[in-house]
Amino acid sequence: MFETFSALEVLLLMGLSIAGVMAGIAANGLKYAVFRPSPHPLWRRAAHIGSWAGILLVILWGAVTAAVYFALGWAFVMDRVVVMLPLLALPALLVAARALPALRGDKAMTPEAAANVAAAVHTMAAGTLLVLYLVWFDIPSVPDLRESTMYLAMLAGTAALLQLYHRRRVRTIEARGRGYLAMAIRSAAFTLSAVVLLMAWFLWSMERSKFPASMSMLHPETFEYGGGAVPAGAVSSAHHDHHARHAVASAAGSAAISVTDLTGPRTGEPDARFTLVAQKQMIELASGHTVEAWTFNGQVPGPQLVVREGDLVEVELINKDIELGVTVHWHGVDVPNAEDGVAGLTQNAVMPGESHTYRFVVNETGTHWYHSHQASSVQVAKGLFGAFIILPKDGAEAGGGTADVTIFSHDWETPDGTRTVLHLPGPASGGQRIIPPGTEVRLRLVNSASYTKLFSLHGTPFRVSAIDGWDIHEPEAVTGMRLKIGGGGRYDVTFTMPDHPVALTLDGREPETTIIFSKDGQEAADIRTGGPILDPLAYGSYAPAPIDGNAVFDREFLMVLDQIYLGHYNGHSNTLWAINGEVFPRTPTFVVEEGDLVKTRIVNRTFSDHPMHLHGHHMVVLSRNGKPYKGSPLVLDTLLVDPGETYEVAFRADNPGIWMDHCHILDHAAWGMSMHLTYANVTTPYTVGEASGNHPE
């Protein structure tokens, strides 16, 4: 529905632009026609038709905006109503009041009337251009007083200047007897000047968008407090106003804490110790393509790290030959901030020949994964990821009568384009896996690709036992349901192996996106395409969520996801992905204090879905589109928000630090859709940029 409304808006604005150009040219011609012995009626008729078309299109645009409001809510139209509606409606009223009466009928038009018509019609065109600029290049998602008045003031100034110009121009035409040739020459000159100015602005804007060689990930001017008290210790990075930082901390009565102090245990014998070596390796994909992968320990996926709840884990990362540097981020695991593995925020990237050790205690269970968070849009795609499985403290090991299989879905760039591959660990042959009938099977499905995947399991009823590592309450058996997993998300699927083959597939029938489980590894499975998509908010049995949606929250934030159709970012032009109308580093920073109960409303106003990933915390899903969950409680670290959807989520601020919150379509994060959650008294000594070599996205 949202996509339809958005497409209609684009079509209406394009139509309004065409009507404005047509009416504007005709109105300009009227200034010359009124001084001709026999004024040609075509100018008048064209201006009349164009003016009416513009007014009707503005009315239709308003109707679409009203429909969006009633269907989806205020968050989807607030910028349209507060900022854009006056820019379209007021000029349309001006045209109706000043231009249409003068254009009606065949009565001779005075020069003053022609000037008024031209000024009104051109003002409507200027308003349309402003709205087009806002929709495509500088969306004011959450309008403030400045945005609601600045553009209106610009339009008012433009209208006044147009009125003065056209009145002066008709006097000049009358005095000098200018004809249509003069009009054509002036129009061409104005057009050429506009093109030159536009190109100059484009190049200036691109240059201005370049990041400094070194900058902090935190910017105090972006701090938002969610309606709660402004913490006295709300400070920025140690690189910003060092003396003021200490003054504020002293006034607050507590010293600022650096992320470097928020570590896991530095001493004690680890319960699980691993070494990950980042290195380049040629690998052959199931599709038959050979690619240069960036790997952990020479394999893709990297080694599966299996630990138990309560374990002290130690992982040494060694960079052998990845020139960009690497880190390890523990996706979905609430580690101490210093162990989070974000280059430029919690550590420096580990360069070739260097090493870094992570130590932390795992206090949760479930299916998680690890990946590099240095140039993650590049490095994850090239293979720097692996599974991190946390078993229950007293749970039994997978053994006789059970099978525990982790499967990654990943997109690879090959000479034949992007190919999606299902990666199986351990012994497997040609997409086959031998599992004896009667075996209790757990498939841990991990989407390490950026884009959403649809999984299907054919040949047996199954249960979704966990999502993002959180157990589903009393999951029911389903058949033929597809599982929609966003980038970074995980589903645990369980079933009892039948006597006949079972197939796991992605939408699409390529062999590399199908895995067949059978008793002998030789049989074919019955694969049927399609089927309904399982709704996680309506699945499982209802139980109270860890956080009640009716609780009193200390802070409530709004996160509006938008796209900028063409923008400049760090010296490049592309479609940008915005949060609250801004791209990093101008995206909002949500400031909390330890112990706060926090609610966030996430609104997706783009054509793309967005798997939003909050580091260091788990989000309790309260509602979708205003309706509370009906099935099992959902506690996620990566929330897939489809176009036109609104989610309310909550979390307890119980893990001090500075945490990324970003879209896990990693290209979207690299093009702006990245922000931060910071605790009031936490600072970081690290920076991003060419000087430090840290590039988290």
DSSP line for 615-626: TTS-EEEEEETT
Question: Per-residue pLDDT averaged across 680-687, rounded?
Answer: 95
Encoded amino acid at 213, one letter: A
Backbone CA torsion sign across 261, 348, 587, 577: negative
Question: Going by C-beta distance under 8 Å and a sequence separation of 6 or more, which residues neighbour residue 634?
Answer: 467, 470, 536, 537, 545, 620, 621
Identify the band that residue 232 occupies on the pLDDT scale cut at 50, 70 and 90: confident
Identify the band that residue 39 occupies on the pLDDT scale cut at 50, 70 and 90: low
500: tokens are 């006949």
The values of phi and psi at residue 358, to 5°, are: -105, 135
For the CA atoms of 32, 36, 39, 44, the dihedral, rounded to the nearest 10 degrees, stands at 10
- Asked if pLDDT for residue 519 goes beyond 70, the answer is yes
Helix, strand or coil for residue 417? strand
Pairwise CA distance, residues 284 & 307, whole Å:
29
pLDDT in tens, 264-279: 999 999 999 999 999 9
Pairwise CA distance, residues 231 & 18, whole Å:
51
What pLDDT is attached to residue 238? 39
Percent of the chain with pLDDT over 90: 73
- State the chain's mean pLDDT as an integer: 90
Pairwise CA distance, residues 250 & 566, whole Å:
45
Question: Going by C-beta distance under 8 Å and a sequence separation of 6 or more, which residues neighbour residue 184?
Answer: none
Lowest-pLDDT choice from 93-102, 303-312, 359-368, 430-439: 430-439
Pairwise CA distance, residues 190 & 169, whole Å:
14
Identify the band that residue 62 occupies on the pLDDT scale cut at 50, 70 and 90: very high
Pairwise CA distance, residues 61 & 564, whole Å:
20
Q: Which helix (H) or strand (E) holds 296?
A: strand 290-296
Helix, strand or coil for residue 534? coil
pTM of the model: 0.91
pLDDT in tens, 133-169: 999 999 999 998 888 899 999 999 999 999 998 888 8
Residue span(s) of the chain under CATH 2.60.40.420 come to 220-255+544-683, 272-537
Percent of the chain with pLDDT over 70: 93
Q: How far is CA 671 from CA 329, 450, 563, 675, in A?
A: 20, 14, 10, 12
Pairwise CA distance, residues 209 & 206, whole Å:
5
pLDDT in tens, 422-475: 998 754 445 668 899 999 999 999 999 999 999 999 999 999 999 999 999 999
Pairwise CA distance, residues 392 & 313, whole Å:
15
Pairwise CA distance, residues 67 & 89, whole Å:
17
- Of 137-151, 393-407, 424-438, 635-649, the range with the highest mean pLDDT is 635-649
- Asked if pLDDT for residue 236 goes beyond 70, the answer is no
Fold designation for 272-537: Immunoglobulin-like (2.60.40)
Give domain 220-255+544-683's CATH superfamily.
Cupredoxins -  blue copper proteins (2.60.40.420)
- Asked if pLDDT for residue 555 goes beyond 50, the answer is yes
Lowest-pLDDT choice from 233-247, 367-381, 430-444, 621-635: 233-247
277: tokens are 């070596």
Encoded amino acid at 78, one letter: M
Question: Per-residue pLDDT averaged across 70-91, rounded?
Answer: 95
What pLDDT is attached to residue 636? 98
Question: Per-residue pLDDT averaged across 311-337, rounded?
Answer: 98
Q: What angle do CA 530, 532, 534 make, to 5 degrees?
A: 130
176: tokens are 């000098």
Residue of 484, 428, 427 whose CA lies nearest to 452: 484
Contact 633, 546 (CB under 8 A): yes
Identify the band that residue 629 occupies on the pLDDT scale cut at 50, 70 and 90: very high
What pLDDT is attached to residue 246? 32
What pLDDT is attached to residue 243? 30
What pLDDT is attached to residue 526? 78
